[in-house]
Amino acid sequence: MGVPADKTVSHVAGITHRASQSVRRWFDAPEPGLPDLESFARLCAGLGCSADEIIGALRPQAEDQAHCTQLIQVANCIQAIADSLAHRGQLGTPVQVPGDEMAPHLKAGDLVFVDSTVTELAGNGIYAFTCNGSLLIRRVERRIDRSIVLKCDNKAYQDYEWTSATAAARRRVKILGKVRSAISVKVFGGR
């Protein structure tokens, strides 16, 4: 795979999301340890190979090796994206943006990652809510008069302003969490 021998442990630790100390035991020459099943499955997926190939029961063919290399590149790219989207080491709960109220910043179908540990408004920012059972993604603005405005980036939609918590309770507004990151996917025409 082109990984230098002195980087094998750190490379496998990155693929399996395990500590280097754990992975080092798997490579211990006098008394090698075995990875747990979850680590083994992550290793197989990370290498783009089957369990049979890893244990030596099946030899990959040339086209399979090229496919494995491509899968490894895709996996590394996805891991890099996930790492950059993470907030304090946590990716958050993925939620799909339901409509175009937050366009052009967030479009229908975009994926936002919600920090569900935030259960009350913690300053201005973008939050995920349920309101009368429907999902809302809104920009929150706290005003000096203590009112709260749920703003839409798309000016075709009206903002909601509440001067008290009871107004929000009447509409059954519940905070799901604060939006920490997002992925926008643009599909280009044709096959």
In this predicted structure, what is the pLDDT of residue 59? Answer: 61
Q: Which pLDDT belongs to residue 156?
A: 95
Amino acid 185: pLDDT: 74
In the chain, where the domains are located: 5-85, 93-183
Q: What is the mean pLDDT of each run of 10 residues along the chain (191 residues)?
A: 74 82 82 79 79 70 71 78 77 90 93 89 89 90 84 92 69 86 77 56
pLDDT at 167: 63
C-alpha separations of 51 from 4, 25, 68 in Å: 23, 19, 13
Q: What is the pLDDT of residue 155?
A: 93
The predicted pLDDT at position 136 comes to 92
- In DSSP terms, which residues pair with 142 in a beta bridge? 148
Q: Which CATH superfamily is domain 93-183 in?
A: Umud Fragment, subunit A (2.10.109.10)
